[in-house]
Amino acid sequence: MKKHTEMVLYLILIGILALLDQVIKILVRSYLTSSSFVEIIPNFIHLTYQENRGISFSFLSNLPDMVRVPALAGVSFVVVAGIFIYLFIYWAKLVTVEKVGYSLILAGAIGNLIDRAFRQQVTDYMYFHFYDKSFFVNNLADDLISVGFVILILYSFLSRKTDEPEK
């Protein structure tokens, strides 16, 4: 498959995943409250509605809006732009698993960037817990970023192992 045709297919995948993230967030904001819990997997995952003004685990959420909003949206934009530039330059050298990993990261980063830029906060809705022990609340964009990162890390370790010369 030609470089540009393949890249367009991945861009479509990125767009669909970022759009899906936004549609789910709109539905969550429309139908859930911070006090509502919809059980998905008993004693493990519930749907709820939370707004995160910061980044992971609400880090930096207490900064003044005039600092927090441009800083977080700006960093998110720089990360998205940097990954796009990297992919444009190195696309032909990447294997499929790397393209998938970066595509998932980009889709998630774009989904959260849209929230930060237009809503000044990120909508979270998947509440992970084990019975009464709470872990975190996140969203599809966060999961896409995490899965993409894990794919790239695993591939990095597995490809190094196979590249080692035999002794």
* d(C-alpha 5, C-alpha 165), whole Å: 36
3-state secondary structure of 44: coil
3-state secondary structure of 122: strand
- Rg of the chain over Cα atoms, rounded to whole angstroms, equals 18
- pLDDT confidence band for 62 (50 / 70 / 90): low
Angle, vertex CA 161, rays to CA 146 and CA 7, nearest 5: 50
132 belongs to the catalytic site: no
Please pick, among 124, 132, 143, 163, the residue that the annotation labels catalytic.
124
pLDDT value at 161 more than 80: no
pTM: 0.85
pLDDT value at 63 more than 70: no
30 C-beta neighbours (distance < 10 Å), count = 8
Mean pLDDT of the chain, nearest integer: 86
Find the helix or strand (DSSP H, E) in which 147 lies.
helix 140-163
- pLDDT confidence band for 54 (50 / 70 / 90): low
pLDDT digit string, tens, across residues 86-119: 999 999 999 999 999 999 999 999 999 999 889 8
Q: Is 95 left (phi over 0), alpha (psi -120 to 50) or beta?
A: beta
Phi, psi dihedral angles at 87 (to 5 degrees): -65, -40
124 belongs to the catalytic site: yes
pLDDT value at 3 more than 80: no
- pLDDT confidence band for 126 (50 / 70 / 90): very high
pLDDT value at 59 more than 60: no
Average pLDDT over residues 159-167: 63
Tokens 């949206």 found at: 73
Please pick, among 21, 115, 132, 142, the residue that the annotation labels catalytic.
142
